[in-house]
Amino acid sequence: MALIRRGLSGHLGWQPQWRKATLKASYDAVIVGGGGHGLGTAYYLAKEHGLTNIAVLEKGWVGGGNTGRNTTIIRSNYLFNESAALYDHSVKLWESLSQVLNYNVMFSPRGVMMLAHTVHDIQVFKRHVHANRCNGVDNEWLEPAQAKEFCPLLNIEDNIRYPVLGAALQRRGGTARHDAVAWGYARAADSLGVDIIENCEVTAIERDASGAVAALETSRGRIGTRKIGVSAAGNTSVVLALAGVKLPLESYPLQALVSEPVKPIFPCVVMSNTIHAYVSQSDKGELVIGAGTDAYTSYTQRGALHINTHTLDAICELFPNFRRMRMLRNWGGIVDVTPDRSPIIAKTPVKGLYVNCGWGTGGFKATPGAAHVFAWTIAHDEPHRINAPFTIERFRDGFLIDEAAAAAVAH
Amino acid sequence: MLLIVCPYCGKRPEIEFTYGGQAHLVRPAKPSELDDQTWTDFLYMRTNTKGIYAERWRHARGCGRFFNAVRDTTTDHFIATYKTGEARPMLRASAAVTTPSGVASPAVAPSTGAQSAAATPGSTTGGPR
């Protein structure tokens, strides 16, 4: 109704969805990074832990980093118990997120189908299916004909280079609207009193005599605070280096691209880790395609074209209908990758400094869950039961959560 | 796609190379005598530098040899490549990135013959950044 009314009045009466806040001299807590993870953390801190005197600092614009650059795939069919608990916590929050935020994040559980092309794939995927069922996470094995029934465009002929030998399907998985997630959290956090400060970059972290966090130096002035939560994705190493904290992270470019928009043709999400194809169709009609990471570490937010063409080769084999589609645009984001491809959501050796990082190529799906347990960690100064295994110290103590070996490439 | 100068073969396209991560990390002589944190630092911790970074590459689809490069990770511009075992070229202090977002570095030239303890192979800190 509002849309019609505004339309008749020339779209002149719209109000901003959140305030342009002015920076205060001090806050109870400061979140560094204004993507979905950071804004979500601020929202849950205000909503569930009563911390409303907080700020979210973003060096660019809200949702302009990896939140606005990913391919929006949501799933929770991870192998290990710790991962299944964390990612499924997130999927459960996705299911009610639009109602909770009163903002349509367009969560669409259309099913995520992961293709198997080798005998090894089949064995690994079936192991995932069984492990997931033990953890109460839905995942089922499909023979090639069943996979084609679920996604009719799929080419299951045996005359392609990597024929489809089967698939694992998580029906509760799907996609959401990436921008709406950032905006929904921003509006909800703002209405609870959270200050969202854009174009504000952290340049130093001050510590008191005991070594605890005391203040932040930013491009817009000094801010006193006893608690800092860092959700800075690819730039996490840079921010934590300001406090002298070392992390097992490397930042790589990850690229994605979209096609020209077409009518609804593609009913689900299809992923193929083996031949690097990740595709779904947005509600606007574009095919949303994820490519691989570039070979080298970088902070440039761009990558090389041969990475994209490699992905398109695979997609043209699997979906011959798409061979004549034109690609509209491509871009890159910087992802922070851990050695075991599992995230870090933890306290750091510096008192009052907390970090949520290491999501690598698959952080969007975890936005609500990670933000929720990260807020808990900041508020209680101890990890939530779900993120307790995702420490920095796990690398020292040998308790890796090795989804790298389980997933081989991208999540 | 990057053009990379292999010190043995010359300028070649990136697809001929594989990446080897941070350079000048040296395996400790007696791992069993280290405490856990020092061993963890060697195995897993990386500077992940935003700015001037020394790294290993391998000309896998060429001569097959490893070599080192100094690259600016804020621009992907290669400043120098050099053979494994050679010291990391010293860069003027002005090459340092002053803000986390990485203001594009001013022109940096390897100074000739300059070496310091921090830049010799064998240092795990990888020299000035």
Interface of B with A (CB under 8 A): 1-2, 14-15, 17-19, 21, 36-37, 40-41, 43-48, 50, 53, 55, 71, 73-76, 99-102
Q: Who's near B102: CB < 8 A, 6+ residues apart?
A: A299, B50, B51, B73, B74
The ipTM value here is 0.89
Contact B73 A297 (CB under 8 A): yes
Nearest to A334 by CA among A30, A103, A60, A19: A60
pLDDT digits (tens, 9 = 90+) for A280-331: 999 999 999 999 999 999 999 999 999 999 999 999 999 999 999 999 999 9
Q: Chain B residue with minimal CA distance to A305?
A: B1
Instruction: Name chain B contacts of A304, Cβ cutoff 8 Å.
Output: 1-2, 14
Q: Distance between alpha carbon A275 and the CA centroid of its chain, in Å? A: 22
Identify the bridge partners of residue A222 per DSSP, sorted by sequence position: A217
- Yes or no: say if A358 and A83 are a contact pair by the CB < 8 Å rule: no
Mutation target vs A (from B15, B39, B48, B78; most A CBs, 10 A cutoff)? B48
Tell me which residue has tokens 């002149």: A12
Look at the block and give the residue holding tokens 């002589």: B29
Number of CB pairs, chain A paired with chain B, less than 8 A apart? 79
pTM: 0.91
Q: Chain B contact for A300, CB < 8 A?
A: yes
Q: Which residues of B touch A233 (CB under 8 A)?
A: none
The string of pLDDT tens digits covering residues A68-103 is 999 999 999 999 999 999 999 999 999 999 999 999
Helix (H, G, I), strand (E, B) or coil at B60: coil
Pairing of strands B18-22, B52-58: antiparallel
Flag whether residue A309 sits within 8 Å of chain B, measured between CB atoms: no
The reply to whether A342 touches chain B by the CB within 8 Å rule is no
Q: Which residues, other chains included, contact A54 with Cβ-Cβ below 8 Å and sequence gap of 6+?
A: A27, A28, A29, A30, A31, A42, A45, A46, A194, A195
- The 10s digit of each residue's pLDDT in A167-220 is 999 999 999 999 999 999 999 999 999 999 999 999 999 999 999 999 999 999
Report the residue of chain B nearest A301, measured CA to CA.
B74
pLDDT surpassing 60 at residue A30: yes
Q: Which two tokens stand for residue A252?
A: 């790589």
- Find the CB nearest B1 among A250, A306, A395: A306
Q: Which residues touch A161 (CB under 8 Å, ≥6 apart)? A: A317
Helix (H, G, I), strand (E, B) or coil at A6: helix
